[in-house]
Amino acid sequence: MGIQKITLLNLGRFDRNILEKISSAVHLEFLLKVEVIENHSDLTVFFDSGRKQYNGNSLLKMLEANFGNDESKTMALVTVDLFIPILTYIFGQAYLGGRTGITSSHRLSNERYGLEKDEKLFTLRIIKEVNHELGHCFGLIHCHQPGCVMQSSTYVEDIDQKETGFCSSCAEKLKTGINP
Amino acid sequence: MHKKISLLVVDDEESVRDSLLNWFLEDGFEVECAENANKALAMLENRNFDIILTDIKMPGMDGLELLKRIKTIQKEAIVIIMTAFAAVDTAVQALKNGAFDYVTKPFDPDDLSHLIRNASRQIVLAGENEQLKSHLTLENVQDIIGKSEAIQKVLLEVQSVAQSNASVIITGESGTGKELFARAIHANSSRKFFPMVSVHCGALSESLLESELFGHEKGAFTGAVYNRKGRFEMADNGTIFLDEIATISMKMQIELLRVLETKSFMRVGGSKQIESDFRVICATNRDLKQMVDNGTFREDLYYRLNVVNINIPPLKNRLEDIPLLVDHFIKKYCNAMSRAAVIIEPSAIRRLQEFDFPGNVRELENMIERAIVVGNGKEIRVKDLPLLKETVVSQVESLDELEKKHVLTILNKYEWNISRTAKALQVDRVTLYNKIKKYDLKQS
């Protein structure tokens, strides 16, 4: 049996309005039922006092252990700043072809870069990152096609360069990932 | 990306391995991990990795030592050193030992992407370079004419030996073009930007040859009014071509052996040791091995020179090249004589292909030059090649040779119509086929 739904795990107390926009956009790309689950787990256990950031690897392991299931792909949404031991920061992370992923909004807002608040752009960036990480969950690797959401992004400007959707090649592979 | 690039991550920290594994998998790389240097080396015994990322501080063997070991197992591997501490001296040491780059943990994601992109580009370029090298064609061989299997085989040998520094002996009958092949080897070697110096050993007396090869100091002998560089000195960084090597005296053989072994010598009458880096290519139409057995050529010199032997086939063994050679010489001499291009009548070509050419390509060249001079200026006819008949009858040949030639002549006469040829020869078709097979006759 293929994947039945996508679960958005709200670990970051995102408001209903933004969650609805993300859900709709995800549904549009993956054509799967999207369910939002509220969860207020304490993330401080993943806090690294040395780096003053949250360990993405450990968080992903916890998600896999507690929320991973074969019928859905679970994407956790957090507001905390994520790192992995080798990198100074990450926007998100997922197991390639795995069941879970994380997206952080911490570095996606304009205010962080001293720019004027732009709620629409912020939401759009989250949607792109969620779709990108979900793409990894469905087995997609980074794509070099300009505009494809699976393009690797190091900076927020890179995220702005891409679309919310997949290029034709990734879309084709995604179909196989959803219905293997 | 041309191919899936493989990565090996070596780090004692599981979290680092996991992070890199995940990061690179998402980027479409093929990734494996090892928790220590010994495991990495064991993995490298079984397979190659394009890029190896290794931590520097690990229990047991450290990253620097691992780097050295990797370079002995898989020289071309790109090794990137990772460390939690930015220590310049360690970085310098790693780079000196052949590391591709050096990064401090944690990396900026962009740095890591750049690093891997650069490494990948290098791998792709190296691959393309290898591919191009394998398809390299020989340069400056336009004077070597021929499409026959025999000549193509020689060209392949030239190509494979050109890039090495090995001494070469080119053997072949007189007039086969041995010097042309020597020039082709030189022109396709890494020494091509330096001179190829030719010495015709057979044309010089022992004392003259000595002076020619080693040079002389002013006053070394009567007539030595200036200091003069020898051919070995002139060939520094290039190639020296010693034609008719079999003609040199025993004394010169000893001298030559010494120079080849030490790459240093003294000018005649000089006292200063001169060093020269040259490659030696020799040519002879004699059987040097036979001369060694007879005691007229030094065995040690023979083995020193005969690292690679290239044998140039006589023209009679590549009859199918005659039309191409004729065409080449016609163009060459018509140009040289400022004449309009002439053609050669097919029957003349056939007659040429029946000829033995004891003087090989040189003889054919002279024949064509003469035919252009004495001919009617429009075409070369059989009668413009008068030497053919005389030379044919002057040869003492075996019955087999005569039969071969006769069968080929009749085949050509009837344009390889088997039935008509068999009828003319008064044999059946099977016998004719057997003769064609026996003598390996081919339609030109």
Domains in chain A: boundaries: 5-178
Residue A51 CA to residue A89 CA, distance in Å, equals 10
CATH of domain B6-134: 3.40.50.2300
Q: Nearest Cα to B306, choosing from B265, B246, B263, B232? A: B246
Q: Which CATH number fits domain B398-444: 1.10.760.10, 2.30.30.90, 1.10.10.60, 1.10.540.10?
A: 1.10.10.60
Over 80: is that where the pLDDT of A104 sits?
yes
Mean pLDDT score of chain B: 86
3-state secondary structure (DSSP) of residue B309: strand
From the list A95, A142, A155, the residue facing B27 with the nearest CB is A142
Over 50: is that where the pLDDT of B1 sits?
no
* Percent of chain A residues past pLDDT 90, beyond the cut: 80
- Check residue B87 and give its pLDDT: 67
CATH of domain A5-178: 3.40.390.10
CATH of domain B315-395: 1.10.8.60
Taking residue B134's Cβ as centre, other Cβ atoms within 10 Å add up to 7
Over 90: is that where the pLDDT of B79 sits?
yes
Residue type for B418, please? I
- Check residue B181 and give its pLDDT: 93
User: Of B97-101, B103-107, B195-199, B425-429, which range is least confident?
Assistant: B103-107
| pTM recorded for the entire structure | 0.51
Domain boundary assignment for chain B:
6-134, 149-313, 315-395, 398-444
* Given A35, A64, A133, A172, the catalytic residue: A133
Over 80: is that where the pLDDT of B229 sits?
yes
- Check residue B139 and give its pLDDT: 64
Cα distance from A35 to chain B (closest Cα, Å)? Answer: 25
Residues 137..156 of A with a Cβ closer than 8 Å to B: which? 141-142, 152, 154-155
Asked if the Cβ–Cβ distance from B26 to A141 is below 8 Å, we say yes
Residue of A53, A54, A59, A87 to mutate, interface with B, max B Cβ within 10 Å: A87
- Check residue B390 and give its pLDDT: 46
Burial (0-12, 13-18, 19+ Cβ within 10 Å), B164:
middle
CATH of domain B149-313: 3.40.50.300
Mean pLDDT over B240-244 rounds to: 93
Comparison of pLDDT for A22 and B346, the residue scoring more: A22
Residue of A nearest to B28 (CA): A141
Q: Nearest Cα to B214, choosing from B224, B229, B203, B199? A: B229
Taking residue B218's Cβ as centre, other Cβ atoms within 10 Å add up to 12
Residues 356..375 of B with a Cβ closer than 8 Å to A: which? none
Q: What are B13-70's pLDDT values in tens digits?
A: 888 888 888 888 888 889 999 999 999 999 988 888 899 999 988 888 988 899 999 9
Residue A133 is a catalytic residue:
yes
Name the DSSP class of A93.
E
Asked if the Cβ–Cβ distance from A57 to B18 is below 8 Å, we say yes
- Check residue B392 and give its pLDDT: 47
Output the CA–CA distances (angstroms, integers) from residue B280 to A161, B198, B261, B298, B305, in the order listed.
Answer: 62, 10, 12, 17, 8
Residue of B10, B17, B26 to mutate, interface with A, max A Cβ within 10 Å: B26
Place of tokens 């107390």: A13
- Check residue B207 and give its pLDDT: 83
Asked if the interface predicted TM-score (ipTM) of this complex is over 0.85, the answer is: no
Burial (0-12, 13-18, 19+ Cβ within 10 Å), A133:
buried
CATH topology identical between B6-134 and B149-313: yes
